[in-house]
Amino acid sequence: MHIKVNHKTIEIFSGARVADVLRKYSASTWKQVEKGSKIVCDGHGHEVGLDGELGEGAQLYIKRVPRAEPRS
């Protein structure tokens, strides 16, 4: 199946999950997501879990985790 990550099309086995697609997309991005410094969102801006199941044509976007507001 074909999944778009940050507009780049990734061809991957059917039944792949979000984590699989990220690993195929970029090892370094995958590490950042694993560490929690980046998150994965769907095409509508909703964060998705790394075990999330995907269908043909799904879109994913990698985003930086927003920094917490400093407490006064």
Partner 1 sequence: MSRGKRLASGFILLLLLVLAGFSCASLPPAPADARVVIFHFNDIHGKIDNFAKVAAIVERERQEGGDVYVFCAGDNFTGNPVIDQYQPPGEPMLELLNRLGVDLLTPGNHEFDFGMENLRNFTARARFPLVAANIEAPAGALPQLQPSIVLQTKSGLRIAVFGLIQVEAQNGLPSTHPDRVKGLRFSEPLARARAMKGLRRDGHVFLALTHLGYEDDLRLAKQMPELDVIIGGHSHSRVDPAETVNGVLIAQAGSDNRFLGRVELRLRNGRLVEKKGGLVELKGPLAENAEVKGMIARFNQNPAFARVIVEAPFAIEGRDALGSLMTDAMRAAHGLDIAFQNEGGIRLPRLPEKITLKDVYTLDPFGNQVVEIVMNAEEIRSLISDSFRRGDNIDLQVSGMAYTVRTDSERRIREIVLRGADGTPLPEDRTYRVGVSSYVASSYKFSHRDPGRALGATTADALIRFLENRPDFSIYRGVQRAFQDPPAQGRRY
What is the binding site for partner 1 (CB under 8 A)?
1, 11-21, 23-24, 27, 42-44, 46-49, 51-56, 58
CB of 7 to partner 1, least distance (A): 17
- Cα–Cα dist 39/50, whole Å: 9
What is the CB neighbour count within 10 angstroms for residue 30? 20
CB of 49 to partner 1, least distance (A): 3
CB of 68 to partner 1, least distance (A): 14
Rounded to 10°, the helix 27-35/18-25 angle is: 130
